[in-house]
Copies of this chain bind each other. A is one copy, B any other.
Amino acid sequence: MKLADLYNYLRPEIQKIEEELERSVLTTHPVLEDASLHLLKAGGKRIRPVVVLLAGNYGTYDIERIKHIAVSLELIHMASLVHDDVIDDAELRRGQKTIKAQWDNRVAMYSGDYLFAKAIEKATFFEKPEIHKVISNTMIEMCIGEVEQIRDQYNWDQNLRTYLRRIRRKTAILIAVSCELGAMASDASKADQRRLHAYGYNLGMSYQIIDDVLDFVGTEKELGKPAGSDLLQGNITLPVLYAMEKDSSMREKLREIFVNEDPEEGQMREVLQEIRESGGMEFSKDMSQRYLKKAFEALEGLPDISATESLQSIAKYIGKRDH
């Protein structure tokens, strides 16, 4: 089944989740409601709800129950996006903030808090304490990931391990947990819960690595931001790590260019080209494929039902993603 067919097939359930998401963010408070609805309408692939739904097929599938997990996890994802946007470096460089911009930042922070709280509230539909434990633990890991990302900005001495740990917390855990909780909420077997967790984890790692590669190869139009913007913000991803590892003069060059945190445009263009030609892109794609292979392997022990085929389709799509 192709990905488009999968979304088509799941459309009625996804629609239900969209409605539930919208209902969740409705409040008596106009500012929070506007901020949340704006984010909701922006859409997204809803990958987390989709895998929750699919994982629900390994136990007793009940959309009226499982939708609460799907919504809860998507709200956590949305909250983390909102907090990611607070005081980003790009805005910083424009110089002094206006009161208005700061106001917006505080509102963004509290909107994120609000979405987190709503996510927890949604999860209280379930009386299983292990579900709450998994969710709170995921939030804890994600916070640590965010702080690590800030700490590691412009740190040219970090290594592959730092990077992998960071993307695990930033992306992979929430997808892993979406798969796991979809299964847990449907009373699937512990073994299947573990398989689905492993699938989601490896899928998430593969996805994030490709995302980091695409930041170098895409055009500004495809990416919705200039190419190399991760690096420009001091976020050091796999292709950069590879380029620095291969040729240590690259490390010194980057350190030099970013000494004022605002590199000259010509220098930036040059260094981006060198990274593209370093072999770092191929190395990263290869590592992404290796995670993807593990995602496929994790599916092997699962029963031969259509959900398994759908999860394979998602993995295949991620393997071919080029924008």
Q: List residues of A whose CB falls within 8 A of some B CB.
A: 27-29, 31-32, 83, 86-87, 92, 95-97, 99, 102-103, 105-107, 109-114, 116-118, 120-121, 123-124, 126-127, 129, 132-133, 135-137, 139-140, 143-144, 146-148, 150-151, 261
Chain B: CB-nearest residue to A115: B143
Q: Provide the bound-state CA to CA distance between A117 and B136, in Å.
A: 5
**The one of B28, B96, B143 that contacts A96, using a Cβ cutoff of 8 Å:** B96
Residues of B within 8 A of A136 (CB): 117-118, 120-121, 124
CA distance A144 to B92 in the complex (A): 27
Pair A146/B110 contact, Cβ less than 8 Å: yes
- The one of B27, B124, B129, B261 in contact with A133, judged by C-beta atoms closer than 8 angstroms, is B124
Contact A29 B107 (CB under 8 A): no
* A102 and B116 contact, CB distance less than 8 A: no
**A200: shortest Cβ distance to chain B, in Å?**
20
By the criterion CB–CB under 8 Å, are B83 and A92 in contact? no
State in angstroms the CA–CA spacing of A96 and B102 once bound together: 11
Across the interface, name the chain B residue whose C-beta is closest to A154.
B99
Please, could you name 29 A-B residue pairs with CB atoms under 8 Å apart, sorted by A? A27-B140, A27-B144, A28-B144, A29-B144, A29-B147, A32-B147, A83-B110, A83-B113, A86-B109, A87-B87, A87-B106, A87-B109, A95-B96, A96-B97, A97-B97, A106-B150, A107-B147, A110-B150, A111-B143, A111-B147, A112-B113, A113-B116, A113-B139, A117-B140, A120-B136, A121-B136, A121-B137, A121-B140, A132-B132
**Contacts A27-B144, A87-B102, A127-B127: A139 and B110 contacting too (C-beta < 8 A)?**
no
> In angstroms, how far is the closest chain B Cβ from the Cβ of A133?
5
A113 to chain B, nearest CB (A): 5
Closest B residue, CB atoms, query A144 = B29
**Alpha-carbon distance A167/B29, docked complex (angstroms):** 16
Across-interface contacts of A137 in B (CB, < 8 A): 121
- Would you call B113 and A124 a contact (CB within 8 A)? no
A80 (CB) vs chain B CBs: closest residue: B113
Judge whether A110 and B143 touch: CB under 8 Å.
yes
Please give, as numbers and ranges, the residues of chain B lying within 8 Å of A110 by CB-CB distance. 83, 143, 146-147, 150
Residues in B neighbouring A143, C-beta threshold 8 A: 32, 110-111, 113-114, 117
Once the chains bind, are B107 and A135 in contact (CB under 8 Å)? Answer: no
Q: Which residues of B contact A87 (CB under 8 A)?
A: 87, 102, 105-106, 109
Q: How far is the CA of A107 from the CA of B146 in the complex (A)?
A: 9
Q: Which residue of B lies closest to A105 (CB)?
A: B87
Across-interface contacts of A96 in B (CB, < 8 A): 95-97
Please judge, given known A-B contacts A32-B147, A129-B124, A132-B132, whether A118 and B140 are in contact too, CB under 8 Å: yes
A147 to B116, CA, bound (A): 15
A120–B123 Cα gap in the complex (Å)? 11
Q: Give the docked Cα–Cα distance between A114 and B114 (Å).
A: 14
Q: How far is the CB of A67 from chain B (nearest CB, A)?
A: 17
B139 close to A117 (CB less than 8 A):
yes
Taking the closest CB of chain B, its distance from the CB of A60, in whole angstroms, is 20
